[in-house]
Each structure stands twice: as C-alpha cells, then as structure tokens.
C-alpha cells in the first residue's frame, strides 16, 4: 500500500466528555497518519440520539483541539467523504442493508423485545450462550407482509454462517474467531437507525479508511465487522487493537481514581503537552529511552507494530511528575497565559504583565499542577496570613532581625536587584557576627513576616516584586 492511501479515523460517540483513553487512541491514529503521510479523520458516532449531546460533541472538539490533535477531515472542516456525523448519514445505511438482504446476507426480523427476552431467559436456564433462534430467517413474503400490515416494523439481522475467521491484528498479531459462536446480529434497528457494528463498517468503507486503530474493547466487534465488509464486497481495513488503560489498582480507570476526561485534567492545571507525552507512553516506548518528547519527536520514532499489546497502568504520580517537568521548561509568557485563569480569585491587575511573568517564574519550580499556583502565589496578591508563623515571629531573634530590616530596607534601591542581594548577604553576616544567628534563621524571620511562610520563592525576588511600600507595610503589620 502506498503511503498516500493511509487513512485513519477517530470515531468518538458524544455520550460523554472526551476520555483520556480516547485521547490516546486519537493520538496513536494521529501519529500513524503523520508517520505514513496519510489522512486523519474525525467522525462523530451519534446514532444513539438519546445518549448523544451537543455539549459532549463540543467537548470532544475542544479537547482534541486543545491537545493539538487536529483532523484533516471532519464535521467542522468537511472533506471528500462527508458528512462526518453519523446522524447526518441516516439515509445512507438502509440502502446497504437492503443490498445485504437482496444478496441473501441479511433478513428482516419481526421478533419483539419480549420474544427476545424469552429466548435469552431460556438460554440462561439451559446455561448455554445465547444465540438468536433464527425464528424469522425463513418467513415467507406473505408472512412478512402480514406482519407489516399489522404495523410491526422489522429490524434487520445479519446472517452469520460458520466460518473460521482469522485476521492479523497490527498490535495483537494473529487472532482467530469461530463465527459459529456469534448469533445473527442486528444491523438495523426497527426504528430505521443502524446499529454500531453496521454504521461503523458502512462509514469506514465509504470513507476509505485503511487502518482501524482503536481500543481492544472493540475486538469482539471485529469479526462481525469483517463479515459485513466481506458481504458488502468491500476491502477489509487493517485492524490494530490497543491494550486498555487501567488504574493503578488495575481496575477500570474511573473518576474515583482521579480525572478521566481531558477537559478535567486541563481544569486541574495539567498542560496538554504533558498529557499527550504521558499518554503516548501508555503502550509505546521511545527507542532512545528518553521519555520527555514532543509530538513531532514521537511521530518520527513511532512504529505501530511496536505498540505493546498488553494493558497499561495510568500512573497519576508519573503524570504529575511529567507535568512538573513541562511547567519548569515552558516558555514563561505561554505559561503565564495558562496560569492566569488559575489566579482569578486575586486582583492580578495590580501587577504589570512583566511582573506577573516574574511571579510565575519564581514560583513555578516546585509545582506539579497549575492549580497549585493559587496557593503558592497567594502572598503576592494578598496580605500574608501570619497564623502559622506566629511563634516564629515572636522570638527574640525575629524581633531583632525585623527591627533592623525595617530600618535598613528604607534605603534599599528597589531598582537594583543585585544590590538588594548583596545587602541581604551583609545583613545575614551582621547577625551572625553580632549575635551568632544562623543565616538561614535570619532569612526565615524576614520571609515569615513578608509571606506568612517559611518556604517559597527566592527572597530577593519577593522583595522586588512586592515593592518598597508593601514591604514596609508588611513589616509594620507584624
Ligand atoms: N464510537 C465507537 C466508540 O466510541 C468507535 C469505535 C471504533 O473506533 O470503531 O468507541
């Protein structure tokens, strides 16, 4: 197959916000398309109108875009093989279903839900796996017409004949299925809408999808889909099924473990670059062992057949670490833009943009999430809370230090950072020589008075950012 023919797709159902697992599937499709100079398509699978919503669809768009996983063809950008929303393709599916009936691959089924429930119960009582009884397989035209005249609308079932089905999964290797275990399954519901297995095949066929890369939770659907491709006389795409993402306790990743929707991760202050880098490592490993890599570097190194076929564990701890690494390295202007929404409880307008960047610059080092900045920058925007340092501030040492500092700082040149740095050094030496105070303790007293804390950003930076008036005001308040 020539490179140009590679066409992959991500096909989320808008029945929830974009899940981090779907983001990984999207990323692997995106990387494969990039590597093979192919096309990456977004299709919205909203045939289940009751479970789909505009809001979720928008969340999927926004989350994929935030991650930079922009599609070549899709509902908003269009393309040669649209529409890209299944709800706008409802007139397409019945034609293909009819074609299958005409060729003898499918038949109308008039069984009611009650009939089918009864069959299920009987199978359960006999402890055998359920398969449709084929009650409607051999109905005559007259019988069907009669049922239709009564107003009963049929569903359409695909007739599954015995066959040993083998396919070579790009990730899992050779997979074999005995189709005699699959009962005749519905391809169209009685309300005229397609089932997932049918719509997905018709769309992948018409959209000329060459490789279907998706989660292994769909493996059991694949034999059904291959049977439909074959019946339609279409080329069967290559399949690659990715292992699942599990929580650290090896159960299904769910909200009780932490965020699962991309938009929730972003709300907590994960950087999209870190998220992407992290999910790429769930099943894929860089050939040079260097884990921190941007999408272009990952794409260059990406080989689909090297994806691990086993499940991956979603280590929140590792993601946090990685996020911290990205926060430390990120361009400060960009980081400030991303950080400001997390500081909206403060009046940030009292600082110039340069100063805000400075505040972020001096507080970013220890944080793992952007939301940590709210706490870590508090003393730049509000009066410090002195409760926790009360004792520290009431020692004899602190009193001596703060009294002299209040006096000295009046003469500091706040435009000359280096000078402040040197003066503070002299200040520490003075107390060490005069009173034997440890330099660290001298600085603690000043830090506690100005910030209400014993740790935090660089002291000189704090003094400069707060400015002379504020520093003196805070010292007077102690
Ligand atoms: N709509 C399906 C899902 O959300 C797509 C599955 C597929 O990729 O075939 O899981």
What is the tens place of the pLDDT at every residue in 140-167? 999 999 999 999 999 999 999 988 899 9
Asked whether the whole model's pTM tops 0.85, one would answer yes
Coil vs helix vs strand at 12:
coil
Q: Which domain holds residue 148?
A: 93-242
237 pocket-lining for ligand 1 (C-beta < 6 Å):
no
pLDDT over 90, % of the chain: 96
Distance, CA of 386 to CA of 450 (rounded, Å): 9
Phi-psi region of 252 (alpha: psi -120 to 50; beta: other; left: phi over 0): beta
**228 C-alpha to ligand 1 centroid (Å):** 16
| 106, part of any domain | yes
| Closest atom of ligand 1 to CA, residue 225 | 9
Distance, CA of 24 to CA of 403 (rounded, Å): 58
The neighbour count for residue 328, using CB atoms within 10 Å, is: 12
170 pocket-lining for ligand 1 (C-beta < 6 Å):
no
| pLDDT at 42 (0 to 100) | 98
Average pLDDT of the residues in 403-423: 96
Average pLDDT of the residues in 91-106: 98
What is the tens place of the pLDDT at every residue in 422-474? 999 999 999 999 999 999 999 999 999 999 999 999 999 999 999 999 999 99
Distance, CA of 345 to CA of 349 (rounded, Å): 12
| Closest atom of ligand 1 to CA, residue 11 | 5
15 pocket-lining for ligand 1 (C-beta < 6 Å):
no
Distance, CA of 321 to CA of 315 (rounded, Å): 10
Contacts of 425 (CB under 8 A, 6+ apart): none
Q: For the domain that residue 224 is a member of, what is the CATH number? A: 3.40.50.620
| 408, part of any domain | yes
Where does the pLDDT of residue 350 fall: very low under 50, low under 70, confident under 90, or very high at 90 and above? very high
11 pocket-lining for ligand 1 (C-beta < 6 Å):
yes
218 pocket-lining for ligand 1 (C-beta < 6 Å):
yes
The protein residue whose alpha carbon is closest to atom 6 in ligand 1 is 11
Distance, CA of 426 to CA of 416 (rounded, Å): 16
| Closest atom of ligand 1 to CA, residue 9 | 8
| 409, part of any domain | yes
214 pocket-lining for ligand 1 (C-beta < 6 Å):
yes
85 pocket-lining for ligand 1 (C-beta < 6 Å):
no
Range of weakest confidence among 52-61, 268-277, 302-311: 302-311
Element (H, E) at 251: none
Distance, CA of 218 to CA of 216 (rounded, Å): 5
**173 C-alpha to ligand 1 centroid (Å):** 21
**215 C-alpha to ligand 1 centroid (Å):** 8
- Ligand 1 mutation target, pool 7, 13, 49, most atoms within 8 A of CB: 13
On the 0-12 / 13-18 / 19+ scale of CB atoms within 10 A, 48 is middle
DSSP tag of 441: H
200 pocket-lining for ligand 1 (C-beta < 6 Å):
yes
**12 C-alpha to ligand 1 centroid (Å):** 6
Contacts of 334 (CB under 8 A, 6+ apart): none
| 102, part of any domain | yes
60 pocket-lining for ligand 1 (C-beta < 6 Å):
no
Count of domains for the chain: 2
pLDDT at 2 over 50: no
**475 C-alpha to ligand 1 centroid (Å):** 62
Q: Which of 221, 242, 263 is the endpoint of a domain?
A: 242
144 pocket-lining for ligand 1 (C-beta < 6 Å):
no
**134 C-alpha to ligand 1 centroid (Å):** 28
**145 C-alpha to ligand 1 centroid (Å):** 36
Distance, CA of 129 to CA of 124 (rounded, Å): 7
Average pLDDT of the residues in 371-391: 96
| Closest atom of ligand 1 to CA, residue 221 | 9
Average pLDDT of the residues in 202-221: 97
| pLDDT at 39 (0 to 100) | 97
Q: Which of 225, 242, 259 is the endpoint of a domain?
A: 242
| Closest atom of ligand 1 to CA, residue 214 | 8
Residue in 235, 234, 198 with CA at minimum distance from that of residue 90: 198
Distance, CA of 196 to CA of 222 (rounded, Å): 12
| 229, part of any domain | yes
The protein residue whose alpha carbon is closest to atom 4 in ligand 1 is 12
Summary count for the chain: helices (H), strands (E): 21, 11
Average pLDDT of the residues in 191-213: 97
| pLDDT at 1 (0 to 100) | 46
The protein residue whose alpha carbon is closest to atom 3 in ligand 1 is 12
pLDDT at 23 over 70: yes
| 78, part of any domain | no
Backbone angles phi, psi at 67, to 5 degrees: -80, -10
**239 C-alpha to ligand 1 centroid (Å):** 13
pLDDT at 376 over 50: yes
The mean pLDDT of the chain is 96
CA atoms within 13 A on the CB side of 237: 25
Range of weakest confidence among 110-114, 255-259, 342-346: 255-259
Q: For the domain that residue 447 is a member of, what is the CATH number? A: 1.10.10.350
| Closest atom of ligand 1 to CA, residue 217 | 10
∠ CA 127-119-216, rounded to 5°:
70
DSSP tag of 125: H
| 307, part of any domain | no
- Ligand 1 mutation target, pool 10, 218, 226, most atoms within 8 A of CB: 218
**104 C-alpha to ligand 1 centroid (Å):** 28
Coil vs helix vs strand at 215:
strand
Q: Give the pair of three-digit tokens for residue 378.
A: 């508090």
pLDDT over 70, % of the chain: 99
| pLDDT at 3 (0 to 100) | 42
Q: Are 285 and 218 in contact (CB under 8 A)?
A: no
474 pocket-lining for ligand 1 (C-beta < 6 Å):
no
| pLDDT at 105 (0 to 100) | 98
Where does the pLDDT of residue 116 fall: very low under 50, low under 70, confident under 90, or very high at 90 and above? very high
**43 C-alpha to ligand 1 centroid (Å):** 9
Q: Which of 242, 271, 289 is the endpoint of a domain?
A: 242
């Amino acid at each position: 197959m020539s490179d140009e023919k590679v066409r992959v797709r991500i096909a989320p159902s808008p029945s929830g916000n974009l899940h981090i697992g779907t983001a990984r599937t999207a990323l692997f499709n995106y990387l494969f398309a990039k590597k093979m100079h192919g096309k990456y398509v977004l299709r919205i699978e909203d045939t289940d109108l009751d479970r789909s919503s505009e809001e979720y669809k928008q969340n999927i768009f926004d989350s994929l875009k935030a991650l930079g996983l922009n599609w070549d063809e899709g509902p908003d950008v269009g393309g040669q093989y649209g529409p890209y929303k299944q709800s706008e393709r409802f007139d397409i599916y019945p034609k293909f279903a009819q074609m299958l009936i005409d060729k003898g691959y499918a038949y109308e089924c008039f069984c009611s839900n009650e009939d089918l429930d009864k069959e299920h119960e009987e199978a359960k009582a006999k402890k055998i796996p359920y398969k449709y009884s084929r009650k409607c397989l051999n109905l005559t035209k007259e019988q069907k017409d009669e049922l239709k005249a009564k107003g009963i609308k049929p569903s359409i079932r695909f007739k599954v004949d015995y066959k040993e089905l083998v396919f070579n999964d790009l990730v899992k290797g050779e997979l074999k299925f005995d189709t005699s275990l699959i009962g005749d399954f519905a391809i169209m519901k009685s309300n005229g809408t397609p089932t997932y297995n049918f719509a997905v095949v018709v769309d992948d066929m018409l959209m000329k999808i060459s490789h279907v890369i998706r989660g292994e939770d769909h493996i059991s659907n694949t034999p059904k889909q291959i049977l439909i491709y074959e019946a339609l006389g279409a080329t069967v795409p290559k399949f690659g099924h990715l292992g699942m993402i599990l929580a650290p306790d090896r159960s299904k990743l769910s909200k009780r473990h932490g965020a699962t929707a991309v938009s929730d991760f972003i709300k907590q202050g994960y950087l999209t670059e870190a998220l992407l880098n992290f999910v790429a490592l769930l099943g894929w490993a860089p050939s040079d062992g260097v884990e921190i890599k941007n999408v272009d570097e990952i794409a260059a190194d990406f080989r689909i057949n090297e994806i691990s076929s086993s499940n991956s564990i979603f280590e929140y701890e590792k993601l946090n670490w990685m996020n911290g690494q990205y926060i430390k390295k990120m361009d400060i202007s960009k980081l400030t833009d991303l950080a400001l929404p997390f500081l909206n409880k403060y009046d940030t307008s009292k600082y110039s943009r340069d100063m805000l960047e400075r505040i972020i610059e001096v507080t970013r080092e220890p944080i793992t999430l952007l939301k940590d900045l709210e706490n870590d920058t508090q003393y730049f925007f509000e009066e410090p809370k002195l409760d926790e340092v009360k004792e520290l501030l009431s020692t004899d040492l602190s009193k001596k230090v703060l009294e002299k500092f209040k006096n000295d700082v009046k003469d500091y040149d706040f435009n000359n950072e280096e000078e402040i740095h040197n003066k503070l050094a002299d200040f520490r030496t003075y107390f060490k020589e005069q009173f034997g105070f440890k330099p660290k303790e001298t600085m603690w007293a000043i830090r506690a008075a100005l910030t209400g804390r014993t740790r935090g950003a660089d002291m000189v930076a704090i003094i400069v950012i707060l400015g002379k008036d504020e520093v003196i005001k805070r010292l007077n308040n102690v």
